[in-house]
Structure 1
């Protein structure tokens, strides 16, 4: 008997996922009916990304799991009608995309490429950067993405400190945790990378007090979550030179409003939430593998801890 898989996401995603998800389910040996329209009482698994018409999961009485297409689950984790297991997306393509963005912009700032792009007038103005070994980097957040980016940066020669709320141990990374660890991690960060999830504990983490702990002239990269940063505090730090530059991929309101100060600030680079997109082919294989595991009685991967929010 086939399992019934409901694809519940914005309509534009169906055309991107229908073929790769169907193929991944078949390759995983799963006889599945995959559709955007199934009777709620017949649904076995829900592949989900937030959309306007789906917020009450109560009718899905036999659903065995909600499988999110997104790495961030702050928009769904508090939904009390989800009584079945909830998983988040941990995708090799998503991880590689984040590594590409973080290492690319870290090297851009480390090598001061913006300086050379702005000095193409024929004037010979050498500016030699330090070696990577003399440029401390801090990564806040040591989950799947944070750990991968920290290790990639360490592989380029940067001394990397990582901070997380709970203790972690990662080869080649100085791992800190707790409030005292956060202060220490910030105090050495010539380049600061934000890869924390959005939770009540992390929202507004980078406020004026935290920004004041950074070395003068630090650079901030935020491909994590917009609400980690207090925008007014960051703008103030940029205006007085305490922070040299901020490259931001995520924001409290998206798309970022056209009149937001970030767009016009000379020390801010805006990228439109492109640091780490879920790729349909690789994400479909992750979804199919979790359905295969559930059907075989194996534990689901990437389960969300409702208490922690991710």
Structure 2
């Protein structure tokens, strides 16, 4: 039995080295050098070719290389009944918390204005925005969203959270479902999107959502590019209803060189680095799931394909 690494466009070598360092006897294969398809028991994937996973008759687990699984579940030929797992690790959580805190603090302390002041050689101190008066709304209260919300509470921000189902976090004003989305947005000055990508959440960052935010709001999207309707963001920025955005994820990655986001004065672009998977850190859980399915056990961190997370 073997593990297949299937990550088109990504370097598989760090994964091979990390897993072989933990288990030198493990049979690890890298697509397209598969050998016999019936040998593959676990597929470790990122942006795999559509239909490829249906070729392995003994496949017992499809493991995402990251926290998201939309790149797997969007495959129309995904083999039915094969468990899909995601990565859950403190390194991913820590990295996302750092990114979100950096983005919120950068906005709330007017750092973009100070960067322009430096270019203009202007000395102009400003009082920071009062944290207790700024509503920071986190969309998505899963593993990553909850961790970010807790840290923002510790810093003294007024934190709101919105999720599909009811969640309770100390210090966080929680909202859930479509019925409470409007109330959540109406109190939000900084909107942080950390939702899983599902048919229900695709395109949720749109004209209607933006119009319900407080005037002059700031957007942070570190979830998925398909959450955002790009034209609606440009319109909201052009009207002044939104004052800016920091975007880490995009509908097309890498972001095309001629995309308007690159040169927009109110948009900050980062190249999908908010929460990078470190192969050495998460290799143990991949090998553990491989051993579990070899013994006929349920893999850890299994997702619900119907819910998308």
Please confirm whether the aligned pair reaches a TM-score higher than 0.5, indicating the same fold.
Answer: yes
Match of residue 284 from structure 1: 283
Match of residue 6 from structure 2: 8
The CA deviation at 1:233 is 1.4
Instruction: Determine whether 1:76 maps to 2:72.
Output: yes
Q: Give distance in 1, aligned partners of 2:239 and 2:287.
A: 51
Q: Give distance in 2, aligned partners of 1:228 and 1:59.
A: 31
The CA deviation at 1:298 is 4.5
The CA deviation at 1:133 is 2.3
Q: Give distance in 1, aligned partners of 2:264 and 2:45.
A: 37
Match of residue 106 from structure 1: 104
Instruction: Determine whether 1:243 maps to 2:239.
Output: no
TM alignment of 1:195-210, pairs within 5 A: 195-210=194-209
C-alpha change, 1:243 and 1:46, in structure 2 (3 Å) is: same
Instruction: Determine whether 1:32 maps to 2:29.
Output: no
C-alpha change, 1:302 and 1:258, in structure 2 (3 Å) is: same
Instruction: Show structure 2 runs of 5+ residues with no match.
Output: none
TM alignment of 1:1-310, pairs within 5 A: 3-10=1-8, 12-25=10-23, 32-36=26-30, 37-52=34-49, 55-79=51-75, 80-83=77-80, 84-120=82-118, 121-295=120-294, 298-310=297-309
User: Retained in 2: the 8 A contact 1:6–1:38?
Assistant: no
Q: After superposition, give the CA deviation of every residue in 1:249-273 in whole Å (9 maximum; x if it has no partner).
A: 1111222222222122111111111
Instruction: Show structure 1 runs of 5+ residues with no match.
Output: none
Q: Give distance in 2, aligned partners of 1:58 and 1:234.
A: 38
- The number of residue pairs the alignment matches comes to 303
User: Retained in 2: the 8 A contact 1:78–1:306?
Assistant: no
C-alpha change, 1:74 and 1:172, in structure 2 (3 Å) is: same
Q: After superposition, give the CA deviation of every residue in 1:48-78 in whole Å (9 maximum; x if it has no partner).
A: 22234x7333342222211111322222214
Q: After superposition, give the CA deviation of every residue in 1:214-240 in whole Å (9 maximum; x if it has no partner).
A: 111111001111121221111111112
C-alpha change, 1:12 and 1:241, in structure 2 (3 Å) is: closer
C-alpha change, 1:295 and 1:157, in structure 2 (3 Å) is: farther
User: Retained in 2: the 8 A contact 1:8–1:46?
Assistant: yes
Q: Give distance in 1, aligned partners of 2:263 and 2:280.
A: 37
Higher relative contact order (CA 8 A, sep 6+): 1
